[in-house]
Amino acid sequence: MSLKTTLLLIPLLPLIGSLISGLARNQVGRAGAHWITILAVAGSCLLSVSVLQMQLAGEIGVENISIYAWMVSDGIRFEVGFLIDHLTTLMMTVVTFVSLMVHIYTIGYMHDDPGYQRFFSYINLFTFAMLMLVMSNNFLQLFFGWEAVGLVSYLLIGFWFKRESAIRANMKAFLVNRVGDFGFLLGIAAVLMTFGSLDYATVFAATPTMAGETISVMGGSEWNMLTFICICLFIGAMGKSAQAPLHVWLPDSMEGPTPISALIHAATMVTAGIFMVARMSPLFEMSDAALSFVMLIGAFTAFAMGLIGIVQNDIKRVVAYSTLSQLGYMTVALGVSAYSAAIFHLMTHAFFKALLFLGAGSVIIALHHQQDMRYMGALRKHMPITWITAWIGTLALVGFPFFAGFYSKDMIIEAVHLSQRWGSGVAYIAVVAGVLITSLYSFRLLYMTFHGKARWEVVESDEHHLPDGQLSHAPKESPLVVTVPLILLAIPSVLIGWYTVEPVLFGGWLDDSIYVAERNDVLAELSQHFHGATALGLHAVQTIPFWLMVAGFAIATFVYLFRPRVAELFSQRLPFLYRLLDHKYYFDEFYQKTFAQGGLRVGQGLWKRADAGFIDGFLVNGSARAVNWVAARVRRWQTGYLYDYAFAMIIGLIAILAAWVVLY
Amino acid sequence: MPLLSLLIWLPIIGGVAVLLAGDQRAGLARWLSLAVSLATLFMSFSLFTGFDRSTSAMQFEEMRPWIEIFSIHYHLGVDGFAVPLILLTTFFGPLVVIAGWEVIQKKVHQYMAAFLIMEGLMVGVFSALDGLLFYVFFEAMLIPMFLVIGMWGGPNRVYATIKFFLYTFLGSVFMLVGLIYLFIQSGTWEILQWHDFPLSMEVQRWLFLGFLAAFAVKIPMWPVHTWLPDAHVEAPTGGSVILAAIMLKIGGYGFIRFSLPITPDASAALDWLLIGLSLIAVVYIGFVALAQQDMKKLIAYSSISHMGFVTLGLFIAFAIFRNSDSGQGAALGVEGAMVQMISHGFISGALFLCVGVLYDRVHSREIKDYGGVVNTMPWFAFFAVLFLLANSGMPGTSGFVGEFMVILASFKASFWFAFCAGLTLILGAAYSLWLVKRVIFGDIANSNVRELNDINAREALVLGVLAVAVLLIGLWPSPLVDLMHSSVAHLLEHIVKSKVA
């Protein structure tokens, strides 16, 4: 099988699986749908791994393969094609592996759902779209994948379309993303205008020569063209990777079924923005201003969104805010030119966050769709596998030494520390404080869910439940299709950091994909202090982040395990802070008032006043009325008497003659 | 064989034959109409296969004297602008026949005949190379549409038809004055000779405004757009489909065939006006669409907003040439405008058919009368969501291609043009998806929705064919765009040369 065929099959297998299981869902049945889609995604996972192996063995280098010319217009070739380098293969492998785990898990999670086949069809389609995005060799296909993953996300958030909250959330997600895409598209237009091509290779090769280009944006003020491009592209990333202030859609996206929260809204799609900026590193490296902007947005998101996580009670929302915060970490890393560190954190995060989400889902099914942690507790005895894997995921998330998240997060913090970028001091404080916050909400989640007293109550009442909302039987551990993916994700959550930190960050593994200007290269500086993964883990006890993590653990243990009253006291004593966090800084209320209601009011005003009132009422119907009025009067002249007409003709002739005399 | 004449007269003669079938033989009228429209479609394929893409010269030409004392000729011919639009017209021929198959029960023969005759006349508009012939087709086409709305329309159809007729007729009278002036000055009705006929700036400006009156109403541009929502709301489904899918495009085609090449200097001088009105259409009308409570009105306003991209794509060419000598980007804009016209034909036609599907069952176009349609009509929901996403410019559908090209090109002209045009990404998604949320998704809203039956095979066929077209152009626009390269290049070479002697 030629390389081109292999690469084509990787996205096409899930596309075919999606079409079969979606369009012929009644013919293939439930089992047919999950077998077809799982085999498809397993196939593309295996093929991705084989491409990775070929790369590791040095059989293929950077491959830039054109598939077909989408369109040629104005001498510009718009293509569909693949760029296969280490960054792409890493993403392909992570995406297909997590997707495979989620596919298997779905058999258990969606077991009783009437939309079973539709769900598999969607997640297969998602895998296709995400692969098209990461494998692209040009901006057009990137934008296609970008919008296509957004579309599937829209369909999946609204998967339970009878729920008003779900179909609100999916529309919100799509529209907020469109705001980002608006910037993204302007960025792409600027790229085309500046470089005359949308092909990555052509654009990146020409980037250094364009450093002096400017664009006049507002009132004649000149912007550096590359800064303009980078900020526009990053606005797209802010939408997709949910960076403040375009983050508001991600917590609401939890209305979707949990498997997709894991796959789309934690592990893969939301990291597309991070991937995109890393891919565009040759452009971003030319603009310090854009990078500072990226870094500060990321730092704010990492810090502020984590804080909200502490006061949430919905288990999925806590994990969602944690995702926002971790995406903020990745963005900060991009901003300090530590692109590899961002990608590295993206990879470790994909594993442990998918694990945490799927663990949350396992709890949710055991408690019959109860998501409120206030009605959980003491599940550890009843769900041992879920409990242990959740602990592993949490340790990875808080950055406990030797776990995956430790390496990736620690490297980001160190990189920010070393960075000379404007504003990096503030960013450093944000990411270090973020460690304490992460630890707080993570252990809070563990304790409220798995430890303490049982407070089980259920939301849905059917034959399993007693009428007062109490569970009739103890919660049971989930079936194998659920627990096996948990175990398979727990393994990389422990090991992948220790195993890959050296090659990915310091071994130059991503050098073929990522460009870092020498003056910005914090990771090169960091590598001088790096003496292997084990040494780094042992060294952790001498660092501030480690002790902040321990402090968070201690506070959470004290407050949520031993003195639950303290949390209540906190909310009573500091009502202002509590309300601010509970209302998520009032972003939603503000957007709802200004943009949603405001936009509608503008539309109604233009329609009723301008269109119906002025144009139709005054101009169109008004001129019709005027014609009527004139006609009613002119009608009287049509007397039918010959002498009247003769008189009128004479008057007319005289008038014409007079006019002729006057004019000439 | 005179292919273009066949494409014009076969449906017209077929229409007359259907008329002769009479009121009593509705079945015969239907099958005959289907046969005629399918035959026309089949024949139009050779227009696609036989078209030489390497030249901008007119092809499939026919020339015959008509009224010799005024040197009026029956002169037909097509280039890269006309061919895609004629194909769009013949494509929709069988679709409207099938869409009206069971729906129309009253005076079937007249309904079918009106659409067949209209099809022939519209092909005539796109292939006429004689100014007066063009005018005759252009006006004659209004009559069957007038009848369709007036006879099979809704309760307020009289107001709508009169508004429609007066609006478009008033506009085209100004064009007629311009055409007669051109004939008197040049002594010919040949449009192609008018392209090279030198004119002073003063004259060009008046001619340009005359053409603008006709085409701005037709396409329609803000602020002469208010006839369209009324006409759509009152028109039967088939009428709305043809109106949106093809008739509006005649406005865009008119700009390409008349305004740009005959009055290039005036077009360049007044491009700010056209660009401004286009951007108002995109943004202002986008907001207005958001506030609509009637599904047909919403789609009608969305059409106006999308047509803004057509006029924008055409007129930014002048701004681009002013900015740079190479004019790189101008062709992208013009081709984008063309793609937008074709794509909007498919999408708006499909959307009006979707509304028709619901209207046939519930007899309401009000958004509030629906909710949770997906529960009872999953296949319908699939198509409706697909077309509404295409309407919001989703990549992979045809709706993306034209908008993408025009936005990229307008960035070359000015950042602010691209900025305003790009707002459609948000506004288009907002009104399209809000419609999805209110009509398609949600729990079953009322007993009408509970009793809905999903689309039947006939409806699935019509929507399925359109879905394929929308996806095909979205995934591979190359064959469509390749048709027009030579003609676009020729047009752009032409319009940069001043005609002021």
Q: Does B335 lie at the interface with A, CB-CB under 8 angstroms?
A: yes
Judge: B422–A182 Cβ closer than 8 Å, yes or no. Answer: yes
pLDDT score for A223: 84
In the predicted structure, residue A468 carries a pLDDT above the cut 80: no
Query: Rounded to the nearest 10 degrees, how much is the dihedral formed by the CA atoms of B477, B483, B485, B489?
Result: -140
Q: Is A175 in CB contact (< 8 Å) with chain B? A: yes
Residues in chain A within 8 Å Cβ distance of B284 = 606, 610
* Dihedral class, residue A471 (left if φ above 0, else alpha if ψ from -120 to 50, else beta): beta
Kindly report the length of chain A. 664
What the block records as the tokens of A629 is 């009025």
End-to-end CA distance of chain B: 41
Residue at A456: amino acid letter: W
Give me the residues paired with residue A214 across strands.
Answer: A224
Lowest mean pLDDT of A595-604, B133-142, B301-310, name the range.
A595-604
The pLDDT assigned to B501 comes to 66
Q: What is the pLDDT of residues A308-354, one digit of tens each?
A: 998 888 999 999 999 999 999 999 999 999 999 999 999 999 999 99
Amino acid identity at A377: G
Q: Which of B288, B336, B374 faces A603 most closely, judged by CB atoms?
A: B288
Q: Flag whether pLDDT at A466 surpasses 70.
A: no
Distance CA B346, CA B399 (A): 9
Structure tokens at A455: 């407070």
Task: Measure CA B489 to chain center.
Answer: 23
Residue A461 has pLDDT above 60, yes or no: no
Q: Report the sign of the C-alpha dihedral through residues A226, A227, A232, A237, in that order.
A: positive
pLDDT score, position B23:
81
Give buried/exposed letters for B405-441 (b at 16+ CB in 10 A, else e).
Answer: bbbbbbbbbbbebbbbbbbbbbbbbbbbbbbbbbbbb
Give the closest-approach CA distance of B482 to chain A in angstroms: 8
Cβ-defined contact of A175 to B419 (cutoff 8 Å): no
Read off the pLDDT band of A45 (50, 70, 90).
Answer: very high
Asked if B430 reaches chain A (Cβ–Cβ under 8 Å), the answer is yes
Smallest CA-to-CA distance from A410 within A303, A528, A329, A492 is with: A329
Query: Is A606 in Cβ contact with B415 (below 8 Å)?
Result: no
The pLDDT-based confidence of A472 (bands split at 50, 70, 90) is low
A470 has a pLDDT exceeding 80: no
Share the mean pLDDT of chain A: 89
* Residue A410 near residue A540 (C-beta atoms within 8 A): yes
Measured between beta carbons, the chain A residues lying within 8 angstroms of B291 are: 600, 603-604, 606-608
**DSSP state letter for A43:** H
Residue A219 has pLDDT above 80, yes or no: no
Task: Identify the three-state secondary structure at position B294.
Answer: strand
Q: Which carries the bigger pLDDT value, residue A249 or residue A220?
A: A249
Shortest CA distance to A25 belongs to which of B40, B80, B378? B378
CA distance B287 to A179: 15
Please name the member of A171, A179, A193 whose beta carbon is closest to the beta carbon of B437.
A171
Contact flag B331-A74 (C-beta cutoff 8 Å): yes
Across the interface, whether the CB atoms of A189 and B411 are under 8 A apart is answered: yes
Would an 8 Å CB–CB cutoff place A192 in contact with chain B? Answer: yes
Is residue B308 scored above 80 in pLDDT? yes
ipTM above 0.90, yes or no: yes
Q: Count of H helices and E strands in chain A?
A: 28, 4
Instruction: Using DSSP, state whether A459 is helix, strand or coil.
Output: coil
Average pLDDT, whole number, for chain B? Answer: 92
State how far residue B318 is from chain A, nearest Cα, in angstroms: 15
Percentage above 90 pLDDT, chain B:
75
Q: Could A167 and B422 be called an inter-chain contact, meaning their C-beta atoms sit closer than 8 Å?
A: no
Which of helix, strand or coil describes residue A427? helix
Reported as a pLDDT band with limits 50, 70 and 90, residue A457 is: confident
Residue contact B441–A167, C-beta within 8 A:
yes
DSSP per-residue codes, B365-386 = -BGGG---HHHH-HHHHHHHHH
Asked whether B127 and B4 are in contact (CB, 8 A), the reply is yes
**How many C-beta atoms lie closer than 10 Å to residue A448's C-beta?**
24
Tell me if B408 and A188 make a contact (CB, 8 A cut-off).
yes
**Strand, helix or coil at B62?**
strand
B17 touches chain A (CB under 8 A): no
Minimal Cβ distance to B442: which of A161, A600, A620 = A161
For B74, which DSSP code? E
Which chain A residues are within 8 Å of B217, Cβ to Cβ?
Answer: none
Cα(B271)–Cα(A155) distance, integer angstroms: 41
Query: What DSSP element (H or E) covers A197?
Result: none
Q: Which of A231, A230, A249 is nearest to A240 (CA)?
A: A249
Burial degree of A588 (CB within 10 A; 0-12, 13-18, 19+) = middle
A465, pLDDT greater than 70: no
Best residue of A66, A73, A136, A174 to probe chain B, by most B CBs closer than 10 Å: A73
Q: Looking up tokens 């009422």, which residue turns up?
A: A617
The dihedral of CA A635, A639, A640, A642: what is its sign?
negative
For A20-69, give the DSSP string: HHHHTHHHHHHHHHHHHHHHHHHHHHHHHHHHHHHHHTTS---EEEEEEE
Shortest alpha-carbon distance between residue B159 and chain A (Å) = 11
Looking at residue B370, its pLDDT comes to 92
Question: In the prediction, which pLDDT does B107 show?
Answer: 87
> Nearest CA to A146 among A96, A180, A99, A122?
A180
Cβ atoms of A71 and A141 closer than 8 Å: no
Instruction: For B424, name the nearest residue in chain A, comparing CA atoms only.
Output: A182
Q: Within a 10 A sphere around the Cβ of A657, how many other Cβ atoms?
A: 10
Confirm if A379 and A470 have CB atoms less than 8 A apart: no
Give residue A576's pLDDT.
Answer: 83
Q: In terms of C-beta density within 10 A (0-12 exposed, 13-18 middle, 19 or more buried), how is residue B326 classed?
A: exposed
Residue pair A129/A386 in contact by the 8 Å Cβ criterion: no
Beta bridge mates, A65: A82
Of A555-569, B156-170, B338-352, give the range with the top mean pLDDT: B338-352
Contact between A178 and B425 using a beta-carbon 8 Å cutoff: yes
In whole angstroms, how far apart are CA B178 and each of A262, B184, B209, B212?
65, 10, 9, 11
Q: What is the mean pLDDT of residues B91-99?
A: 93
Q: In the prediction, which pLDDT does B254 show?
A: 95
Which DSSP state fits A465?
A: B
CA atoms of B422 and B426, how far apart (whole Å): 8
Q: For chain B, say whether A533 makes contact (Cβ under 8 Å).
A: no
CA distance B214 to B251: 8
* Residues in Cβ contact with A31 at an 8 Å cutoff, skipping those fewer than 6 apart: none
When pLDDT is cut at 50, 70 and 90, the band that residue A6 belongs to is very high
The backbone region for A320, taken as left when phi is positive above 0, alpha when psi lies in -120 to 50, beta otherwise, is alpha
Q: Is B9 on the interface with A (CB under 8 A)?
A: no
Q: Which of A355-364, A609-618, A642-651 has the lowest mean pLDDT?
A: A642-651
The secondary structure of A73-137 as a DSSP string is ETTEEEEEEEEESHHHHHHHHHHHHHHHHHHHHHHHHTTT-TTHHHHHHHHHHHHHHHHHHHHBS
Question: What confidence tens digit (pLDDT) does each residue in A138-154 have?
Answer: 999 999 999 999 999 99
Give the separation between CA B469 and CA B463, rounded to whole angstroms.
10
| Backbone CA torsion sign across B382, B387, B388, B390 | positive
Place of tokens 């503000």: A590
Q: Residue B407: which of A175, A189, A196 has the nearest Cβ?
A: A189
Q: For position A619, what pLDDT does the model report?
A: 78
Contacts of A158 in chain B (CB under 8 A): 441
CA distance A95 to A615: 54
Mean pLDDT of A218-228: 81
pLDDT in tens, A280-312: 999 999 999 999 999 999 999 999 999 999 888
* Residue pair A236/A184 in contact by the 8 Å Cβ criterion: yes
Contact yes or no for A117/A21 (Cβ under 8 A) = yes
Q: Is A49 on the interface with B (CB under 8 A)?
A: no
Q: By the CB < 8 Å criterion, does B290 face chain A?
A: yes
Q: Which of B:461-500 have CB within 8 Å of A?
A: 475-478, 481-482, 485
Strand A76-84 relative to strand A214-218: parallel, antiparallel, unpaired? unpaired
- pLDDT in the model for residue A119: 94
pLDDT at A629: 78
Q: Is the peptide bond before B94 cis (omega within 30 degrees of 0)?
A: no
pLDDT of residue A467: 52
* Angstrom distance (rounded) from CA A70 to CA A228: 27
The secondary structure of residue A478, as a DSSP letter, is P
How many CB pairs below 8 Å do chains A and B form together? 139
* DSSP characters over A156-175: HHTSSTT-HHHHHHHHHHHH
Q: Which residues are CB-neighbours of A224 under 8 A, at least 6 positions away?
A: A211, A213, A214, A287, A289
- Chain B nearest-CA residue for A598: B287
- Give B409's contacts in chain A (Cβ within 8 Å): 74
Tokens 């179909």, residue? A167
Residue A418: count of CB within 10 angstroms of its CB: 18
Q: Which residues of chain A lie closer than 8 angstroms to B395, CB-CB?
A: 143-144, 146-148
Q: What integer pLDDT is reported at residue A299 of this predicted model? A: 94
Q: How far apart are CA B280 and CA B461, in angstroms?
A: 37
The amino acid at A56: L
- pLDDT of B167-185, one tens digit each? 888 888 899 999 999 999 9
